Amino acid sequence: MKVLVTGGAGFIGSNFIRYFLKSHPDSSILNLDKLTYAGNLENLAELQTALNYRFVRCDVADAAQVEQIVQERFDAIVHFAAETHVDRSIAGGREFVQTNVLGTFTMLDAARRHRVPRFLHVGTDEVYGSMKPGEFAREDSAIEPNSPYAASKAGADLLARSFWQTYQYPVITTRCSNNYGPYQFPEKLIPLMIANAIEGKKLPVYGDGLNERDWIFVEDHCRALDRVLEAGLPGELYNIGYGQPVANIEIIRKLLRLLDRSDDLIEYVKDRPGHDRRYALGTERIQREVGWAPAVDIDEGLKRTVEWYRGNSGWMARVCGGEYQAYYEKHYTRRGETLAAL
C-alpha cells in the first residue's frame, strides 16, 4: 500500500508512521507536513534513510502544492494535520480555521478528484462537547463543540461527511479521545506535567482538577487507525477511546508517584475558559464492526510514557530549547529533498 500521511511530524502522526511501516513493511509512506511549532522531524529520525519513507514540507491548505502531491497515485490518505492545542485556540483561532477547516477541504477535494480510494480523516471526541456524569458519546450523538479547536475539528468532520453524502467519496472519520505516550509535545497535560516534575517545577492544575478525560495510549490509537483503514466502511464514523474517564488530578498524582516526586508540586491555577468538564466515548461500534479494542490500561501506559520521557531527556531538551526546528534545514534541504524533487 502506498499511503500519504498528513501531519506525520506531529505526535500521533509520527507514532502512526512508525507503527504502520513496522506492521506493513511492504508499504510506503509519504509524510506531508508544514512543520509548524508542533512538527518535529526528529520524531522519525530512524526512518530518514528508509527506502519506503519520504517527507515533503507542505501546507495542507495550499491547494496548488497539495494538487501536485496528490496527483502521484496513492492507495490511501491518512489525514492528521491540524492545529491541536485548545489553549492556543482560545488565544487565537484563525490558524485553526485555516488548517483544520480549509486544509481538510483542500485535502478532500484533491483526493476526490484524483480518486484516492480511501481517505481516513482523524478527528477528536472534543466535537461532542462536555458529557454529563455517566453519559458516553456515541457516533450518533449531537456535536456540541465548545472551544475554537473543537469547533474547527467539527467543521472538518462535517466536510468529510458531505464528501460521502454528495460525491460518495469513500471517506472514513474517526473520533478519538485524549492520547498520551512518547513524542507528545510538552504543551499537553501529561508531557507538561512530566517535564515540570522532572525539573522540580510546579504542576499547574486548571480549576479544581476534577475535569475528566478518557485517556488512550497512542499505540492503541495507531492500531485502531490501521484496523479502520483495513476494515472500516466508507462513509462511516468510528469513536476510538479507552472507555474509562479519569480526573486530571488523579493522572497528575499517578505521574508524581511514578516520578517519585511530592504532591506539594501541585498548584491549582485559574481555570481554562469554557473548560469541558468530561469527555467520555462509547466505542461499541469499532469493537463490534472493526474488531478493535484497547490493550494498554492507564497505569501501564503512564509507566511506559514516563520511562520514555526519562530515557529521552535529549529530545525534551531540544524541544524546549527550540533546536528541533533546525532539523529540517540540517537534514533535508541540504539533500535537495524539497517538493521539486518528488
Q: Which residues bind ligand TYD (CB under 6 A)?
A: 86, 126, 178, 188-189, 192, 204-206, 211, 213, 248, 272
Bin 115: left if φ > 0, else alpha if -120 < ψ < 50, else beta. left
CB nearer to ligand NAD: give 27 or 36: 36
C-alpha cell of residue 298: 492507564
Tell me how far, at minimum, the Cβ of 117 lies from ligand TYD, in Å: 32
Q: What x-and-dash track marks residues 243-282 binding ligand NAD by CB under 6 A? A: ----------------------------------------
Rounded-to-integer distance, Cα 125 and Cα 239, Å: 7
Asked if 89 interacts with ligand NAD (CB under 6 A), we say no
**Of 59, 83, 109, 125, catalytic:** 125
Residues facing 6 on adjacent strands: 32, 79
149 catalytic residue (yes or no): yes
300 catalytic residue (yes or no): no
From 53-61, 132-140, 270-278, 298-306, span contacting ligand NAD (CB under 6 A): 53-61
Separation in Å, CA 103 to CA 108, 156, 235, 286: 9, 9, 19, 27
**Of 109, 126, 214, 220, catalytic:** 126
Contacted entry of ligand NAD, ligand TYD, none for residue 38, CB cut-off 5 to 8 Å set by kind: ligand NAD
From 45-53, 80-88, 294-302, 317-325, span contacting ligand NAD (CB under 6 A): 80-88
Tell me how far, at minimum, the Cβ of 160 lies from ligand NAD, in Å: 12
Asked if 99 interacts with ligand NAD (CB under 6 A), we say yes
Who contacts 265 (Cβ-Cβ below 8 Å, separation ≥6)? 196, 197, 200, 201, 202, 203, 256
Closest CA to 82 of 59, 109, 54: 59
Rounded-to-integer distance, Cα 306 and Cα 118, Å: 36
Contacted entry of ligand TYD, ligand NAD, none for residue 248, CB cut-off 5 to 8 Å set by kind: ligand TYD
Residues 78/120, Cβ–Cβ less than 8 Å = yes
Tell me how far, at minimum, the Cβ of 97 lies from ligand TYD, in Å: 17
CB nearer to ligand NAD: give 96 or 164: 96
Asked if 137 interacts with ligand NAD (CB under 6 A), we say no
Tell me how far, at minimum, the Cβ of 300 lies from ligand NAD, in Å: 18
Asked if 332 interacts with ligand NAD (CB under 6 A), we say no
Asked if 39 interacts with ligand NAD (CB under 6 A), we say yes
Rounded-to-integer distance, Cα 216 and Cα 285, Å: 17
CB nearer to ligand TYD: give 67 or 95: 95
Asked if 11 interacts with ligand NAD (CB under 6 A), we say yes
Rounded-to-integer distance, Cα 200 and Cα 266, Å: 11
Q: Give the one residue of 3, 4, 20, 33 binding ligand NAD; rule: CB under 6 A.
A: 33
Query: Residues interacting with ligand NAD, by CB under 6 A?
Result: 6-7, 9-13, 33-36, 38-39, 59-61, 80-84, 99, 103, 122, 124, 153, 176, 178-179, 185
